[in-house]
Amino acid sequence: MTERSALVPVVSALAGSRVLVVGDVMLDRFVTGTVERISPEAPIPVLKVDDETAMLGGAGNVVRNLTALGAHAAFVAVVGDDEAAAGVRQLVDALNDIEVSLVTAAGRRTSIKTRFLAGTQQMLRADSETVASLAPDHRRAVIDAATELMADCAVVILSDYGKGVLGDGVAEELIAAAKTAGKTVVVDPKGRDYARYRGADVVTPNRIELAEASGCPVVDAATADIGARALIDALGFGAVLATLGADGMVLVPAASEPTILPVEAREVFDVSGAGDTIVATFAAALAAGVGYGQAAALASVAAGIVVGKVGTAVAYADDVVHALHHQDLSSAEAKVLSLAPALDRVETWRRRGLKVGFTNGCFDLLHPGHVSLLAQAREACDRLIVGLNSDASVTRLKAAGRPIQTEAARAAVLASLATVDIVVIFADDTPLDLIKSLRPDVLVKGADYAVDEVVGAAEVQGWGGRVVLAQLEPGHSTTETISRIAE
């Protein structure tokens, strides 16, 4: 069994891991649009805004990555009493399998990072936040909540973004409490002084952070090893997992030789949040019972996936399994996605200026009529998503005894076609909710419908998209085929 294939069962084991995250939560906002002119008021571009989205950032992005991998997460953070805090709470509530304690600090601004993008180019980032130590009562609330939640967790992550939540002795108290409880502590550090992380099991600095904290120049894996051992000797860390950008990562355990992990990315599109993915994957793997070496290898694979996406993205468990099998994202199995990873993929396409199309159906027994419809749909767009009715949905729409093939079989056949880029199975009788979530630029249906009869047509046209009615191939019908077989 190769080293990579040995990691596949580790991904499955992540579903049983339990990890506590304590740190600085942020609200990451993305304002996207196009630039067509320069402002007459000043020599600056004018961004015509097309869309605004928000997601959890900072320690919140670590939690997002944990839940995407299937791990159980507990989360302690501090927010203000403001609109951004409401946004953070709403996004946290939407996550699966998570216990949360968000401490409200009146007068403190919830951290917001707003990025303005024209296509794939970031034009400006605007930050609104409070950077200060916590008031005594808020400090106590964080420590108490974290100490209670860590009882059911194997690993504690301290996600320090330098906003003050882990300052003023909070990190030290949490590390001491975790060690007393027999928990593994992984720290994503900030700043030059790592003394507050003394005794942590693992710290995960990047190249610049490692150089600043150790006082040693870090230009490659060999110099990273020197800097890491300086920190280990001074502060009693069990290991240092350093990220070195294009040079990959290096794992430096206290009692053994370093391990160099190469870059796993096929294409680097956006490095935002890659460090969060690394610490989340590494910690989840440790919580699942694997050693530092395998945990770091898995984290490297997950980071390679994330930098190929846009924004503060996450690596889903299925993404990691596909990567471990050396499967390209165009392979059939990797095309069958649930809604969340499909939205990630669509966002990446949009940032690249690609037009997204959508069609749907039962596709029970694939015939030339289906093939023609899909080919026409793909011609109308750059990337095509097929919404596939679930087995239960087909039975309600057609009759008992249908579908002939299971949803898994139907999805596999569709995904094997070059004209299809994503297959998403939906359980409703109509794909309306799916269409609203994906917001395709082109909606395709057979010409046996009128435009006003097509589910989602009004919505797609409402956000500037168009509806295409594909010509049908005469003489092809799944129902008729089934009847002929029966006869």
Instruction: Give the residue-averaged pLDDT of 198-210.
Output: 96
Same domain membership, residue 369 and residue 270: no
Same domain membership, residue 356 and residue 317: no
Number of structural domains the chain divides into: 2
Instruction: Give the residue-averaged pLDDT of 83-90.
Output: 96
Least confident of 224-228, 254-258, 307-311, 426-430: 307-311
Catalytic residue among 225, 270, 276, 344: 276
Amino acid letter at 269? Answer: F
Judge whether 160 and 24 are in contact, CB under 8 Å.
yes
Model confidence at 42, in pLDDT bands (50, 70, 90)? very high
Per-residue pLDDT at 404: 86
Per-residue pLDDT at 248: 87
Provide CB contacts within 8 A for 32, sequence distance 6+.
Answer: 49, 50, 51, 52, 53, 116, 117, 118, 119, 351
Model confidence at 406, in pLDDT bands (50, 70, 90)? very high
Same domain membership, residue 174 and residue 149: yes
Query: Which residues form the domain of 223?
Result: 3-327
Instruction: Give the residue-averaged pLDDT of 34-57.
Output: 92
Least confident of 77-81, 310-314, 322-326: 310-314
Per-residue pLDDT at 328: 47
Average pLDDT along the chain: 90
- Boundary-marking domain end, from 327, 359, 381: 327
Per-residue pLDDT at 317: 86
Least confident of 174-188, 341-355, 379-393: 341-355
User: What phi and psi, each to the nearest 5 degrees, are found at residue 310?
Assistant: -120, 150
Per-residue pLDDT at 422: 94
- Boundary-marking domain end, from 327, 350, 380: 327
* Percent of the chain with pLDDT strictly greater than 90: 71
Same domain membership, residue 286 and residue 406: no
Kindly tell me if the per-residue pLDDT of 103 is higher than 90.
yes
Please say if 276 is a catalytic residue. Answer: yes
Judge whether 25 and 79 are in contact, CB under 8 Å.
yes
Kindly tell me if the per-residue pLDDT of 120 is higher than 80.
no
Same domain membership, residue 352 and residue 271: no
- Boundary-marking domain end, from 274, 303, 327: 327
Per-residue pLDDT at 2: 42
> pLDDT tens digits for 418-463?
999 999 999 999 999 999 999 999 999 988 889 999 999 999 999 9
Judge whether 162 and 191 are in contact, CB under 8 Å.
yes
Kindly tell me if the per-residue pLDDT of 388 is higher than 50.
yes
Same domain membership, residue 179 and residue 118: yes
Per-residue pLDDT at 402: 83
Q: What is the CATH number of the domain that holds 95?
A: 3.40.1190.20
C-alpha Rg value of the chain to the nearest Å: 25
Same domain membership, residue 362 and residue 311: no
Q: Which of 119, 114, 105, 74 is nearest to 92 (CA)?
A: 74
Task: Tell me, yes or no, if the pTM score tops 0.85.
Answer: no
Q: What is the CATH number of the domain that holds 445?
A: 3.40.50.620
Distance separating alpha carbons of residues 157 and 78, to the nearest angstrom: 15
